[in-house]
Structure 1
Amino acid sequence: MNAFPAESDINKALELLIDYYKVPDSIIKGLFGKENYRKLNTIMADLGEKGINTRELARVLIIEKGAYLFSGSSKEVRALREHLIRQLPEDKLMDLYARNPDSKRNITSSAYMIRPLVQKKWVVGGTWPRDFTAALGFPVIFSGISIPKTSSTDPVMDIEARKKVPPLAPFQQKLKEKMLQVLNQEAEKTRCVVTLPTGGGKTRLAVESFIEWMQGPFSEGKYMLWIAQSEELCEQAISCISDMWQEKEFPESLRVYRYFAGKSIGEEQLIGGAVVASIQQLYTRLQKGDKVIEEIIKNCGAMIIDEAHHALAPVYSTLLEKAEELCGPDLFPICGLTATPGRSDGETTSLVNRFQAYLIEPELPETSSYKANPLQYFREKGYLAKPVHHIYETGRDYVVKEDDVEPMQNDLTPEFLETLANDEVRNRRIIERLLEISRGKQTLVYACTVKHAEFLSTVLNAAGRKAASISANTPKATRRMYLDAFKKGEIEFLLNYGVLTTGFDAPKTEYIMICRPTTSVLLYEQIVGRGLRGPRFGGTEHCTIIDFADNLLRLGKPLAYQRFHNFWEKGSAETAVLS
């Protein structure tokens, strides 16, 4: 069963809600929210569309909520469930209650069965939701989608053998040979920093190199400790480790340990293998004297630090100091992975100096153009997409005060971004530009706030363009559902705030719309990087990046995109000015 409702599912649900069960206008608007309804009608009128009626609003709700249309315990969703249950014939109501009775009461009158059914806990994909949707005639998808077993995130997993993956590209193979040469020569004293442009496959490269090098140590109970910044990056690493271990046809299984998102590992589970950990959890557990992580560090065969530019932070000093305390000064091989386009070479130099490391970077043909711009090589060969940049000026003025900038985060504050998110004129211009994108083009949109992403998604759906929004608040199962639907092309626009900057892979992304201004070069590079996979890596030849630019008065530092003028394809920059 698809995780995202098909058009036939949407139409069937709409027919039942409006035509058959005649759900009142007040319930539909209650689910949608009065303020959201006002804003939606305002922006649709600005776009020259007529006001949205109850039927159209219900359709938007079905698309927005998807499999979770009836989920939750809010008074609005319970009002919807109650209305629907009340429409059932008495015999069907009694049959439904007989399968889902109130365990604390003996009810025989159908009139008293409605309330306990309405208040019954809704567990997505469970028996009660399935009975509810079946009794009312809705497609089973609206019972909710639970996390499939194939998406298990247990703390410990064993990877079995055999899975075919594409071979390394020639430049990746040469980098792998360099890495193995350093590892074989330096052994425990190995310190290296591997740098590749975003989209160049540094995770795959490092995983393949290290699991080959560590095949023997794994069987001796040693650990490969992979450290990342986010859950998404951790899961991405696990997926890659799983694929590569199976592809290599090793005779034994490999145990992988999830040491992030609060997951715990018991000492009795430790037999060696790959430990994928977040630096935040490592730091916290080390501070508390966690015996499991101390045992892993004592028997560490290699440490790989993803997004290694973060390794300049104090938490990594604490980790390495503890490692020296447990293992002695020679430690074990340490490899940092980083992507540098858009950042100064000084940061890479600092990183290399931090670890007293070898710098391992691609060997490119000796031409003046490639020396001046190494990215040109990767784009010409089809490894990276060619980024076409557009600046879309709104003509909107905002005064940036001292309190609107967070010095520690090197970015604008959430409060300032919320001001932008609530600007209805600005939002209309965002929607106008999004609707200009041809149908069927996969587009990532980076909004100013969670509510901003949700609202823009709603307007796009109301305009007949399939969209969904996700944030850190989105349940993981729902997030995976929308990401999968986006990759399959079932969703045109995927809007987000605070996620989809690292650890997200959608190679066919053709447009990236950046509606939130940022002064953080790192954040901007991570956003742009989501669309840089080239055709030889399953991506696109071009990716269009659209920066929604406002006139930010008194902003003391440049916006990040202004520092990328050498990054874009020559002659690609265009500016659309709206007055």
Structure 2
Amino acid sequence: MSGFLTENEIEQTVESLINVYKIDRNLLIKFIGTDKYIKLNRMLMDLEVGAMDDYQLARMIVVEKGLFLFAGSNDVVRDLRALLLKQLEGEQLVRLYERNPISNRKIKSPSYMPKALAGKRWVMGGRWAREFVQTLGFPLAFSGISIPKDHSTDPVQDIEPRKSVPPLVEYQQGLKEKMLSVLNKEQEKTRCVVTLPTGGGKTRVAVESFIDWMQPRFNEGKYLLWIAQGEELCEQAISCITEMWQEREFPESLRVYRYFGGKTVKYESLIGGAAISSIQQLYSRIQSDDEALNEILANCGAMIIDEAHHATTKSYEVLFNKCKELAGVNLFPICGLTATPGRSNEETMTLVNQFEAYLIHPSLPDMRRYELNPLLYFREEGYLAEPIFLLHENGEEIEVSEYIEDEHDDLSKEFLNDLANNEKRNFQIIEYMESIPLDSSSLVYACTVEHAEFLAMIMNSIGRKSAAISADTPKPIRRMHIAAFKQGDIEFLFNYGVLTTGFDAPKTDHILICRPTSSIILYEQMVGRGLRGEKFGGTEYCKIVDFSKNIKRHGEPLAYARFINDWQIREIHNIDEISPLK
């Protein structure tokens, strides 16, 4: 079982809800809320699709909720479970209750059993969930038995040696040799900043270089400290470290420590290895004088900072001061990783100067056109997809100078929320998405969590399978939707704030930017999810559609303008120009 509903399972479930159990329309509306239901139907009327009937409404909800249709403890889900249980025959209901009794309650009358059972704690994959769906005749998938097991819950993991991965390509091997050369220098000279365009495999190169260099040092109880921004990037690093350790065929296992997401690493479990952490957790544990962290920092053999443009913040200053206190002022090798389109830019050089580091970038053939535009090499060789960029026309010009967040110098949540509720703009976004060919793979960046959910709801209502995820989406559901997107089970994956880094879906052929931003770093992170080329399992072209053309800051365009210039993008001016591309 794939962890995602099949079309047959969806049809069977909708048929049962509507024609067998006669679920009331008002209860279905409660699943999405009256206001959203009205807004949804208004949009469908504008699209000339027509208002949803009961069957279409039930189908949309089944697709939206997926395997979690009957899960949870909110009143709407409990009402649905109770309504279904009430329709069981008396003897069948009694037998179900006897197999799943309510603790500390002795219920004899069948009339009281549905409500009691409906409130029973639902555990995905548990006995009660399984008996509920089987007794009522729904697909077994709703019990949760097909949800992929979460392997990232333990703070400590041992990686066994085995497995094979493709070798580094020529420019990656050159980067590795440069990194090892820096690592083998002495003390303060062992600092480097590695710059490589998004999609070029900087994580893979860094992991292979540092794993090879650290391997004998792990046996001495030393640690490789990998620092990332957020849990997705941390898990991505662990996955890459796992593959590389197994591929190297080292005779011993490697211990990996998950030092993020609130996980606690016990001092007794420390034997050396790779410690993967978010900077947020490191900063917090330094404040609490965490014993395990002190041991890791005191015996750190090397540090890698992913998304190193963040390393100018106070949190990193506190971390470096703590490292000097525990490991000595000369510290250990430190490598910053950053994704930049060319050989260097202002942000990269700031990092180089801050760390007093060597700047390491790929060695490309000595041709003038590559000197002027390094990205041309990666595209011509098939390592990066060619971005095809469309600025979508969408209304009157909007000045955003009064909507700037002081902290990040970006557009405020208030402004993004106003855009999310702009019905005319949403109509244009949805109308464009309708024109995208079936079976395409589209990643959509929405203005807010609610905006992502609403757009996904609309697309599901018109028969285009979609899902929405955010930082609030439970991890099992998030992983399941991402896996389904990668496998082509859903066409549109909507998100807000979670799929800018640490997310790898090489076959993504459309990136839709509905969320405007003045941050070039954020913009590159968003579009970077679709820039992997065919040689790295991606696509020849990636179509990027931005709906921010009419939004200006101080009369100037937003981050997309710098992206077009820095990445030397081919810009087109109407949808027909990109529709033939695959």
Q: TM-score, normalised by structure 2?
A: 0.96
SS at match of 1:310: helix
Q: Which SS does the other structure have where 1:549 is aligned?
A: coil
SS at match of 1:322: helix
Match of 1:153 in 2: 153
CA distance in 2, matches of 1:370, 1:227: 32
CA distance in 1, matches of 2:361, 2:76: 56
2:486 matches 1:487: yes
Aligned residues: 576
CA distance in 2, matches of 1:144, 1:516: 34
**Aligned partner of residue 530 in structure 1, secondary structure:** helix
Tell me the distance in 1 between the aligned counterparts of 2:412 and 2:359: 36
User: CA distance change for structure 1 residues 208 and 570 in 2, over 3 Å: closer, same or farther?
Assistant: closer
Q: Which residue of 2 aligns with 1:515?
A: 514
8 Å contact from structure 2 (residues 226, 304) kept in 1: yes
C-alpha displacement of 1:180? 1.0
Displacement of 1:565 after TM fit?
2.5
Change (3 A) 1:452 1:163: same
Matched-pair contact (CA < 8 Å) for 1:67–1:145: no
State the distance in 2 between where 1:365 and 1:485 align: 39
Which residue is equivalent to 2:458? 459
Comparing 351-360 with 474-483, greater Cα deviation is found at 351-360
TM-score (normalised: structure 1): 0.97
Q: CA deviation at 1:558?
A: 3.5
Structure 2: stretches of 5+ with no match in the other structure:
577-582
C-alpha displacement of 1:176: 0.6
Q: Secondary structure at the match of 1:43?
A: helix
Supply the distance in 1 between the matched residues of 2:494 and 2:395 (Cα, whole angstroms): 23
Deviations 1:173-207 (Å, cap 9, x if unpaired)?
11111111221233674111111000000000000
- Answering whether residue 56 of structure 2 is matched by residue 56 of structure 1, we say yes
Q: 2:375 touches 2:567 (CA, 8 Å); kept in 1?
A: no
Are the aligned partners of 1:445 and 1:493 in contact in 2 as well (CA < 8 Å)?
yes
Identity of matched residues, %: 59
Q: Deviations over 1:511-530 (max 9, x none)?
A: 00000111111110100100
Task: Give the corresponding residue for 2:25.
Answer: 25
Q: Which amino acid aligns with 1:87?
A: Q
Q: Which amino acid aligns with 1:411?
A: D
Aligned to 2:319: 319
1:325/1:570 Cα in 2 relative to 1: closer, same or farther (>3 Å)? Answer: closer
Distance in 2 of aligned mates of 1:150 and 1:416: 37
Quick one: distance in 2 between partners of 1:212 and 1:289?
A: 31
Report what 2:3 is aligned to.
Answer: 3
In the alignment, what sits opposite 1:98?
Answer: 98
Q: Structure 1: how far apart are the matches of 2:298 and 2:146?
A: 39
Task: Report if the CA contact (8 A) 2:28-2:58 is conserved.
Answer: yes
In structure 2, the CA distance between the partners of 1:147 and 1:226, relative to structure 1 (3 Å rule), is farther
TM-aligned CA deviation for residue 555 of structure 1: 4.0
Going from structure 1 to structure 2, the CA distance change for 1:73 and 1:325 (only over 3 Å counts) comes to same
Deviation at 1:567, TM superposition (A): 4.2
What displacement does 1:327 show? 1.6
Partners in 2 of 1:390 and 1:24 — Cα distance? 44
**Partner Cα separation in structure 2 for residue 89 and residue 342 of structure 1:** 70
Question: In the aligned structure 2, how far is the partner of 1:342 from the partner of 1:466?
Answer: 37
AA partner of residue 49 (structure 2): E
Q: How far apart, CA to CA, are the structure 2 residues paired with 1:150 and 1:69?
A: 20
Alignment of 1:103-502 (within 5 A): 103-144=103-144, 148-149=148-149, 151-186=151-186, 189-341=189-341, 345-400=345-400, 402=402, 404-502=403-501
In structure 2, distance between residues paired with 1:80 and 1:573: 49
Tell me how far apart the structure 2 counterparts of residues 343 and 36 of structure 1 sit (CA, whole Å).
48
Q: Which amino acid aligns with 2:210?
A: F
Post-superposition Cα deviations, 1:212-233, rounded to whole Å, max 9, x if no partner, equal 1111100110000000111000
The separation in 2 between residues aligned to 1:50 and 1:569, in whole angstroms, is 43
Select between 482-491 and 334-343 the one with higher mean Cα deviation: 334-343
Give the whole-Å Cα distance in 2 for the aligned partners of 1:316 and 1:224: 17
- Residue type at the aligned position of 1:436: S
* Amino acid in structure 2 at the alignment position of 1:486: F
2:502 is the alignment partner of 1:503: yes
Q: In the TM superposition, what is the alpha-carbon distance from 1:149 to its structure 2 partner?
A: 4.0
TM-superposed CA distance for 1:345, in Å, is: 1.3
Shift of 1:407: 2.4
- Is residue 342–residue 525 contact of structure 1 (8 Å, CA) maintained in 2? no
Q: Deviations over 1:378-424 (max 9, x none)?
A: 0000000100100001014445352x111221211111111111111
Matches of 1:444 and 1:342, distance apart in 2: 25
Offset from partner CA, 1:73-108 (integer Å, 9 cap, x none): 222211111110011111111111011111111122
Unpaired segments of 5 or more residues in structure 1?
none
Q: CA deviation at 1:573?
A: 3.0
Shift of 1:150: 5.5
Indicate the SS of the match to 1:151: coil
Change (3 A) 1:490 1:131: same
CA contact (8 A) 1:390 1:545 kept: yes
Q: Distance in 2 between matches of 1:487 and 1:391?
A: 26
Return the alpha-carbon distance in structure 2 between the equivalents of residues 189 and 253 of structure 1: 30
Deviations 1:325-351 (A, max 9, x none): 112121111111111128971211111
Aligned pair in 2 of structure 1 residues 422, 264: CA closer, same or farther (>3 Å)? same
Match of residue 524 from structure 2: 525
Q: Deviations over 1:422-461 (max 9, x none)?
A: 1111111110001111011100000011111001001101
